[in-house]
Amino acid sequence: MAYVAPAYITSQDLINRVSARTLTQYCDDDGDGVADPAVVEMLIQEASAWSEAYLLDSFDLTEIGQLAQDPLFKGAVCDIALSLMGERRAEFGGAEPNLKEGRYGKYPYGDRRDRGERTLDRLGKSYLRSGVEKAAGDNQSLVRPAAFSEELDGW
């Protein structure tokens, strides 16, 4: 059986990000006025897998699982899901060339994928920095605290 990335966000995370109305607008394929759960879950799964793949170059799955608790990570996955939602709608299909030229046209979430990628990149870098700081005592190249022969005034 093929590996399936865990869902890093929920439909409620998407609703909190944009609103139930917007989610319905993008995910109501049968026209009943309700976002289709299968569509929402498919987009959540794709955005989660995409985000995980983005980070797998630098982190293992355990570390990604720890990162997934960060609200910035959830926001980045939501941004990627919103971008995927816009791409799948026929009425927004003509906007993609405009996005590449910097004009957003009718596709309001087209820039979200870039935003999600940038957030994942920054979050990953900060996670690496914090990991290095935790292990700083073991790093022999760091300067050890200075030893003073006299007491310093004002300290």
List all residues 6 or more positions away from 86 whose beta carbon is below 8 Å from its beta carbon.
26, 92, 95, 107, 108, 109, 110, 112
Q: In which domain, by residue range, is 16 found?
A: 11-130
Kindly state whether residue 3 falls inside one of the protein's structural domains. Answer: no
pLDDT of residue 66: 87
Classify residue 55: in a domain, yes or no.
yes
Q: Is residue 117 part of a domain?
A: yes
Q: Is residue 54 part of a domain?
A: yes
Identify whether 52 is part of a domain.
yes
Task: Identify whether the C-beta of residue 88 lies closer than 8 Å to the C-beta of residue 110.
Answer: no
Ramachandran angles phi, psi of 143, nearest 5°: -70, 130
| Residue 34 domain flag | yes
**144 in a domain, yes or no?**
no
Distances (CA, A) of 28 to 23, 64, 72, 96: 8, 31, 27, 21
pLDDT value for 92: 55
Let me know if residue 110 belongs to a domain. yes
pLDDT in tens, the chain (155 residues): 788 889 999 999 999 998 999 899 889 989 999 999 999 999 999 999 999 988 887 788 888 888 888 888 899 999 899 888 888 776 655 444 443 443 444 445 556 777 788 788 877 777 666 654 444 344 344 344 444 455 545 54
* CB under 8 A, 24+ apart: contacts of 34-43: 35/11, 37/11, 40/11, 40/14, 41/7, 41/11, 43/81, 43/84, 43/85, 43/88
